[in-house]
Amino acid sequence: MRILVVEDNRDIAANLGDYLEDRGHTVDYAADGVTGLHLAVVNDFDAIVLDLNLPGMDGLEVCRKLRQEGRKQTPVLMLTARDSLDNKLEGFDSGADDYLVKPFALQEVEARLAVLARRGKAAQPRVLNVADLEYNLDTLEVRRGGKLLQLNPTALKILQSLMESSPSVVTRQELETRVWGEELPDSDSLRVHIHGLRAAVDKPFDKALIQTRHGIGYRIADPDAG
């Protein structure tokens, strides 16, 4: 599993991370709510471990924004020292999928994350749609108006990011990080790939779906949707 741990207590975060990585999982970290939300929105994780009490933005607000503004359904396991029923209900109301009270056993965290990840994969929609453009995430087939389009792996990553965020704008930095990670390409690479994507997705058709927001980034949207 690829797991995001959002926890400001360094000892807890280190213990969790070391245990999960020793068990073969990939773990990313954030020590505050704002950073955690950003990572959760721009990356695809199998599950998120989210502390309730965080600097900058608490876990409840992170979870709400992740669901409502980020439109991400990544399973969330919320950690807290608060064990009252009202606290748990508040956590679930914010969009959390499970709730674990500190102190906890590391084995139980992994077991709960595995259950959430399986449930999340089964529930996630596997087809993205914008106007007459369709991207099947299982077969990696892209069709527009029923016509099969040929796209390279980099173009597919860019297209997935744009379609998942549609109709919102995705910044250049977010796209570059999503596609290339920490090893960012030269400054013209993204522009070149966007040009190629437009040639396949827009040029043969009447309506252009890929739009540039100069100085900011790109978005994909139905121009007739307003």
Question: What are the boundaries of each domain within the chain?
Answer: 2-123, 127-225
Tell me the sheet residues that pair with 78: 50, 99
Protein fold of 2-123: Rossmann fold (3.40.50)
- pLDDT tens-digit profile of 198-208? 999 999 999 99
Q: Which residue ranges of the chain lie beneath pLDDT 70? A: 83-88, 91, 120-125, 187, 226
Bond from prior residue into 75 cis (ω within 30 degrees of 0) = no
Report if pTM > 0.75: no
Query: What is the architecture, at CATH level 2, of domain 127-225?
Result: Orthogonal Bundle (1.10)
Q: Would you say 169 and 218 are in contact if contact means Cβ atoms under 8 Å apart?
A: yes
pLDDT at 69: 83
pLDDT at 84: 62
| Residues ≥6 apart with Cβ < 8 Å to 81 | 52, 53, 101, 102
pLDDT at 219: 95
Q: 3-13 burial, b if ≥16 CB within 10 A, otherwise e?
A: bbbbbbeeebb
